Chains A and B, each alone.
Chain A
Amino acid sequence: METFLTILLDGLQFSSYLFIVSAGLTIIFGVMKILNVCHGSFYAWGAYTSAFFIGKFSEMGMPDGWGFLVILASAIVVGLVLGFLIEQVILKHMYHRDEVLIVLATFGLFLVLEDVILIAFGTDPYFAYQPMALLDSVEMGGIVRDVYGLTLIGVAAMVAIGCWFLLNKTKWGTILKAVIFDREMGIAMGINVPLVYTLTFIGGAILGGLGGAYIAPTISVAPGLGTEVIVLSFAVVVVGGMGSIMGAAIGSLIIGLLRALAVHELPQVELFVVFAVMAVVLVFRPEGLFAPAKPRKI
C-alpha cells in the first residue's frame, strides 16, 4: 500500500509537470497547426527569468513568499514578450507556407533563443531554492515529500480547469473551437483569425514559461534545459492526440504514472517506457488517443 501510494503521488507529480508544459504545445498546434519546437525555449526562459529574479529578490532581503509572485510574473512576461515577438515578427509571415517550413523556422528560433540565453544569463547555473525551502516537507506513505513538489499537482489541476472553462464556457472558447474546426469558415463568419492566432500563441507561450518558472526552484537552471522538455512534451501530445487538451492531460497521466511505476519496480525500463507508450499508440491510433475530429473538406 505504501509503495502504491508513493507510485501514485510520484506519477501524479511528474504528470503534472508534463501537462503544464505540453498543454501550451498542444493548444498552439490545435489552433494554429504549428508544431512549435521553440516551445522548449519558453520553458527555458521561464525558468531562467524566475530563477534570476527569485535570487535577486532574496539578495535584496525580500520575503521568500515573493518567489511565488515572481514565478507567475515570469511566466506571463516571458509568454507575452517572446510569444508576441515570435508570432508577429516571424510566424505571421509564414502561415501560408508549408507546415514543414514553419517547423524548421521554430527549430531555428529554438537554437537562436538557446544562444540568447547564454548571452543574457551566462553559462553559470542559477539556483532559486527559496520557494521550495519555504514550504518545507511532509511525511506521506512512509517517505518525506517536499510540499512544493506536491503543489505542482494543484497548479496542473488549475491549468486544466482553466483550459476547460475557457474552451467550454466562454465566447473565446467557442471562437477558438470554430477556428480549430475550420479556419476558412471562421474567417467567413467574421472571426478575426490573426488576432486569435496571436493570442493563442501568447497563451501557449505563457504555459510553457509557467512550466519552467514553476520547476526552477527544484532544479539547477542551466543552459540546455529546454531541449529535454521538448522531447517529453512531444511524446505527451503524440500519445494524447495533437491539439487536444484532454489528450495532453491523459497523455501526461499515462506517461507519468507508467514512468513512476517503472522507476519503482523495474528501473531498467524507465527510459524505454515513455517512448514505448508512444510507439504503441502510434501503431493502433496514429492520430493519438484524443485527437479532435477533422472536418471533411470538399
Chain B
Amino acid sequence: MKLMLIAYALSLMFVLLMVVRVWRASVLDGVLTLLVPFYFIIAMIKYWNEPDHNIRFHVLGLLVCSGIAFYAATNVARDAIVGSPEQRLATVKALRDQGVAMTPEQEKGLLSDDPAVVMATLQSLDVDDADGADGAAAPPRDAEFENPAPVAVQERPAEIMSYAEAARRATFNRGNYTREAIGVTIDVPAKFRLISATDARRLDQARGRSDDSRGLGWIIHENLALTDPDAWHVGVRWHSDGWVAAAALDPAGLLDVALANKTPTPRVAVSHGDLLGYAIAPQFDGQVLDWAEERVLANSDEHVVDCHAVRLGRRGVVEFTITGMAPKSAALCHTTVRLLATRASFAPGKQYEAAAPAEGLRAPYTIATLATHAP
C-alpha cells in the first residue's frame, strides 16, 4: 500500500515537472499535456532535441513510477482478497458451514501464508463448485435451508444490569411477531406480550443464567409483572436442525425409555432435575407436539412442571416452554404453551409436511426423542 502511494506521488511529480518544461516552450502544449491523455508523447517528440524543453527523462520516470504503482496496486488487491490468517480461517469455517466439499490439501492451501497459494486454492474451489453444480452429488448450497449449523440469533450484545433495570428497559411487543430469517410468525394473543431476544438475554444475565443462543424471546401474560423475578414466562426458542420425523407416541413406552436413560440430553429447555413422569402425556396433531413433564429438582424434594409445545417447520422447530411451574398449575402451563404454538405459523415453503422433503437437512431426532430426551 505504501509503495503504491509513493509511486503515485512520484508519478504526479514527474507529470508536473513535465508540464512545467513544456509550458515554458508553449503555453498551448503545456495545457494540452496537462489535460489531454497521452499528449505528452507529442510534446516529447516535438521537443526531443531542445535541451531546455525536452521531457525524455520525465516520461521515462513517469513510466517507471506508473509501473511500480500498478504492481503495488495488484498486490494490494490480492492481499485484500486473500485477507489475514484469521480472515482465512473464518473463510474456511464459512465454506464448511455452507457444505462446500474441501480436501485437506485445499484447506491447507487456504490457510497458507503464501497469497499465490491461497488465490490458486480459491480458484480451484470455484472450479469444483462449477463442476459440482452439474453433478448429481453436489452438496446442498442453500445456506438458508440447508445450513446444518444452528443459526444463532444475531443480536446486539446485552449489557449486564440489575434484574429490575433489565425488566424496566424491556419493550413489550403485541400483535404479529415475525422472524424473516426463520420464516416464522407468532400471532401473540391479546392478553400476552412478547419481549425480544435482546431483552430476554438481559433478564437472563441479570439472573446469572447462561446465554441461550437459540432464544427468540419471552412471552409473558399481561397480568404478570416482568419486574417480579418469580413471575412465569414462556421461553421461545428456535432449533434449526432440519425436518423432524414424526413417530408413534405411546406415553408409557416413551416414559419407559425416558426413565431408563440415565444420561438424558434434553433439546428443549428443562428444569434442573430428574423426570418423574408426564403431567400431561405427549400428543402430536400433525403440526404441534405438546406435553408437560413433572420433575424433581436436583438436591431437593421439590416437584415442578415443565410444559413444552413445539411447532414443527420444514427446516426446524419453534419451541415454547415454561419451566419450573408448580404442579398445581400444570393445566395453565400446558394450555398456554399449546395456545402459543398453535398461533405460530411458517411462511409458505417453510411449513412442516409429514413426508420427508426430498432435499434439505433432516434432524437427527424424531418427535419421540424430543419428549424422551434420548440422545
Partners in one complex: no
